[in-house]
C-alpha cells in the first residue's frame, strides 16, 4: 500500500468514528467530558475544524484556513465554555469540521508519496520537527481527532447514552 493510500484510509476511518460520536451528541452539545471540567462536543467539533484547517491549509499549504476566525473560540489554549450563546450553532460547527476534513482529503489527493517529505509551505520554526512536512501534518491531523474521541465517549457516558460501538472480538 502506498503511504498516501494509508493516510487517506486513516483519515476516512478516524472520521467514521468521530463524526457519528459528534452527531449523536447534538442533543447534549455542552456536556463536559469530566464532572467539573473538560471539553464538550461543541468545543471538540470546533477545535477539530480549527486545528485541522490550521495544520493542513495554513501550515502545510500556506493558505487561509476556512476556520481561522474561530481561533479565539476553539484554538490552542481555549477552554470549553458552558454558554451556548458564545458559540456558532452546533450543526454549523459540525458542518465546518466535515468541510475541513473534505479539504484535507482533497489536499492529499494532489500529492504522491514523494511529496510527503517535501517542506510544509508555512511551518513555524518551532513546529518543524512535528509539522515540517506534509507527512507530519497528515499524521498530526489523523491522530488528533482520535484523541478527542475519548472525551466524546465520556460526554456520551455522562449524558446517559449507551455505547455506539461494540468492542471488537478478542479470539
Element (H, E) at 96: helix 90-109
Q: What is the mean pLDDT of residues 8-37?
A: 94
Domains annotated on the chain, with CATH = 3-158 (1.20.120.450)
Q: 135-148: string of b/e by CB count within 10 Å (b at 16+)?
A: bbbbbbbbebbeeb
CA–CA gap between residue 160 and residue 61 (Å, rounded): 42
Cβ–Cβ < 8 Å for 55, 67: no
pLDDT for 28-54, tens place per residue?
A: 999 999 988 899 999 999 999 999 999
pLDDT computed for residue 91 by the predictor: 98
pLDDT for 73-110, tens place per residue?
A: 999 999 999 999 999 999 999 999 999 999 999 999 99
pLDDT computed for residue 166 by the predictor: 59
| Position 164 pLDDT exceeds 80 | no
Amino acid at each position: 500500500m502506498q503511504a498516501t493510500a494509508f493516510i487517506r484510509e486513516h483519515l476516512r476511518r478516524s472520521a467514521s468514528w468521530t463524526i457519528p460520536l459528534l452527531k449523536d451528541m447534538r442533543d447534549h452539545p455542552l456536556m463536559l467530558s469530566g464532572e467539573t471540567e473538560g471539553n464538550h462536543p461543541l468545543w471538540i467539533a470546533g477545535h477539530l475544524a480549527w486545528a485541522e484547517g490550521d495544520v493542513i491549509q495554513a501550515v502545510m499549504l500556506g493558505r487561509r484556513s476556512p476556520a481561522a476566525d474561530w481561533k479565539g473560540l476553539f484554538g490552542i489554549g481555549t477552554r470549553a465554555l458552558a454558554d451556548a450563546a458564545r458559540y456558532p450553532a452546533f450543526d454549523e460547527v459540525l458542518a465546518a469540521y466535515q468541510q475541513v476534513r473534505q479539504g484535507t482529503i482533497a489536499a492529499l489527493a494532489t500529492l504522491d508519496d514523494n511529496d510527503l517529505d517535501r517542506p510544509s509551505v508555512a511551518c513555524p520554526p518551532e513546529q518543524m520537527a512535528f509539522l515540517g512536512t506534509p507527512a507530519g501534518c497528515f499524521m498530526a491531523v489523523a491522530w488528533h481527532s482520535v484523541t478527542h474521541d475519548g472525551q466524546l465517549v465520556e460526554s456520551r457516558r455522562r449524558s446517559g447514552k449507551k455505547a455506539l460501538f461494540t468492542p471488537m472480538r478478542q479470539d
